[in-house]
Amino acid sequence: MLKREGKVQPYTKTLDGGWGWMIVIHFFLVWVLLSYTKWLLW
């Protein structure tokens, strides 16, 4: 077996600094708003 030297990091640092979840929430809220608007216009 090969031994690794140093600490093992279970998670890698996100490339976007963690803003990916903000983008997901943004698109979800836009979808909800558009669905609500469509519901009001019917």
Number of residues written out for the chain: 42
| Amino acid 1: pLDDT | 52
| Amino acid 3: pLDDT | 61
- Smallest CA-to-CA distance from 24 within 14, 10, 12 is with 14
Tens digit of each residue's pLDDT (9 = 90 or more) over 12-34: 776 777 788 899 999 999 999 99
| Amino acid 5: pLDDT | 64
> In which residue are the tokens 């608007």 written?
37
Helices then strands (H, E): number in the chain?
1, 0
Q: What is the DSSP string of 11-27?
A: SPPPTTTTTHHHHHHHH
Whole-number CA gyration radius for the chain:
21
